[in-house]
Structure 1
Amino acid sequence: MTLFKNFSQHQPSIKRKHILLMTATITPPDGAPMLRRVDPKLRLQDYEAALKFYLKLLDSSIDRLIFAENSHSDISSLQTIVEEAKYRDQVEFICFNGLDYPPSYDRAYGEFKMVEYVMNHSQTIRNLPPKAVIWKVTGRYTVKNIHQIITHMPENIDLYCNFRSIPKRWAEMYLIAWTPRGYQVALKNIYSDLKPLMIDGIRVKDPEEVFIDLIEERAKTIKLVPRFRPTPMVDGIRAWTNENFLEGKNLLKFYIRSFACKVFPWLWI
């Protein structure tokens, strides 16, 4: 496993093919654990706003965009947004019924089961060159500085993500990037192991804690870079708290993490 070093020496990687994969569940299943933002209308509004933001990056840092939705909901308003922006040829929509699992399996299981479906069925993915990079973003969120993250990505990575070790080991799952090889080695079929760890009915590990352990074990033979630079600035409503990432204490956390990333890069908070 290769950790990051000397990021400033890397040249922008904009010449590689970059595909943005937005994942979406407009109508979440009843009984999803800890989920508070459940109104399909509100969630659709989140996806519409995020799609408008990411469309502006086409032809600059992003080459193509895939919008994947796994509750087989109406996505016509999203398709209209793409049509009006005149990006129909660069956007692929994949809408299917992918919620055929117990809601208790939780968010990471469902999202990466969706990713598995996309990687197996997307025409965009099928035609990618080996060095292309797929950027998976949780579709309701906008990563405001994703252009900078993409253009300053280290060269020759197979898997690019953001781990934290303080206050506990944690993998941020709202933004993850991989090459076709990185996916085959580290992420293929990972969804089946991403259920929360339960002991005697008590949740003892969140999916993000399970994910970091799995990736560190699976990625030993590929180039894993486990810290983003710059620190992602995420805007949007967190689904299990209904709090905005860029308000109050959450905004303060971003500034602290951004400062630590620049001044104390070994401090993974």
Structure 2
Amino acid sequence: MMTQPTVIVMTATVDPGDYAADIARRDLEVRKADYRNALQFYLGLEDPRICGVVFCENSGADLSFLRAETLRRGAERPLELIGFCGNRRPSGLHYGYSELGVIDHACRHSRLLGSGDRFFKATGRLTFERISALMDRLPDDCRFGADFRRAYSKEGGAPMRARTELMFFHKAFYLEHFFERRDRMIDSPVLFEEFVPQVILPIRGRAETGALALRWPIECGATGYAARDNSDYNSGAIRTKRRIRAFARRAAPWLWI
């Protein structure tokens, strides 16, 4: 069970800019509402282990839409807003290149991360309503956590993928293995979901690495809408997939789906 203070780092891109054509959920007011609702959820989450929320946005957007002062008044925890212009990626690369840049920026500039050593990275438009239950099941010495799956038959490339919407890092682990290393995605362009296993799998099992959770012990699905196709994470089809995955975690833990 995790017991130590943990920060939520919400990664955000309010204005997709040149990449708007790549996604369906591109309306700026819709995206702003997604981020505002998610921020309100994390600020009000009743879990004393969550010691702060960092909202880090990379399109240089005006963050006054978050109504941060109003949210802070009823908040259970500190809030830090960080904005910068960094929504650029080399041609042909996945959006994850920019997202890693958001986490890097938060590690450099966040006061809350500067005083803490553990954080969840959450895609900022989404919420994870079972995050406290997940923390109850992860070991206190966890250094990294994500939900890995096997590549689907129609997918090429790497055999393992990580669901990157929610990941856990001990800050020292992130700094050692991910910080300022996103350019490794350039030479042989890979999806963010493939890049994470490329980093993690070779170091799995090393004593000095510490505890790595490559499969969530419970199903911890997102609530919200996928940017790529605007699909609802609470649709009937996705709920059915989650029930199957939840059953597999108990009955067939070797079946990573």
TM range (shorter): 0.7 to 0.9
1:30, 1:103 within 8 Å by CA — same for their partners in 2? Answer: no
| Equivalent residue letter for 2:251 | V
SS at match of 1:109: helix
TM-superposed CA distance for 1:208, in Å, is: 0.9
Equivalent residue number for residue 122 of structure 2: 137
Equivalent residue number for residue 135 of structure 2: 150
1:25, 1:70 within 8 Å by CA — same for their partners in 2? Answer: yes
Equivalent residue number for residue 189 of structure 1: 180
Structure 1 residues 59 and 230, CA, compared in 2 at 3 Å: closer, same or farther? closer
Aligned pairs for 1:61-72 within 5 A: 61-72=49-60
Which of the numbers 20, 38, 46 marks the counterpart of 1:50? 38
> What percentage of residue pairs aligned between the two structures are identical?
27
Instruction: For 1:127 and 1:144, locate their aligned partners in 2 and report how far apart those are by CA, in whole Å.
Output: 26
1:228 aligned to 2:216?
yes
Equivalent residue number for residue 85 of structure 1: 74
Equivalent residue number for residue 110 of structure 1: 98
Q: Which moved more, 1:95-104 or 1:18-27?
A: 95-104
Q: Deviations over 1:107-150 (max 9, x none)?
A: 1100011100110111111112xxx3210000001111011112
- Total equivalences in the alignment: 247
1:161, 1:227 within 8 Å by CA — same for their partners in 2? Answer: yes
Q: Which moved more, 1:212-221 or 1:232-241?
A: 212-221
Mark the runs of 5 or more structure 2 residues left unpaired by the alignment: 153-158
1:25 aligned to 2:25?
no
Instruction: For 2:187 and 2:19, locate their aligned partners in 1 and report how far apart those are by CA, in whole Å.
Output: 15
Q: Which moved more, 1:95-104 or 1:231-240?
A: 95-104
SS at match of 2:87: coil
Structure 1 residues 169 and 101, CA, compared in 2 at 3 Å: closer, same or farther? closer
Q: CA RMSD in A?
A: 2.1
2:56, 2:102 within 8 Å by CA — same for their partners in 1? Answer: yes
Instruction: For 2:126 and 2:139, locate their aligned partners in 1 and report how far apart those are by CA, in whole Å.
Output: 23
Instruction: For 2:91 and 2:128, locate their aligned partners in 1 and report how far apart those are by CA, in whole Å.
Output: 27
TM-superposed CA distance for 1:59, in Å, is: 5.1
Which of the numbers 160, 172, 184 marks the counterpart of 1:169? 160
Equivalent residue number for residue 248 of structure 1: 236
Instruction: For 2:202 and 2:70, locate their aligned partners in 1 and report how far apart those are by CA, in whole Å.
Output: 41
Question: Could you state the TM-score of these two structures normalised by the residue count of structure 1?
Answer: 0.84
| Equivalent residue letter for 1:222 | T
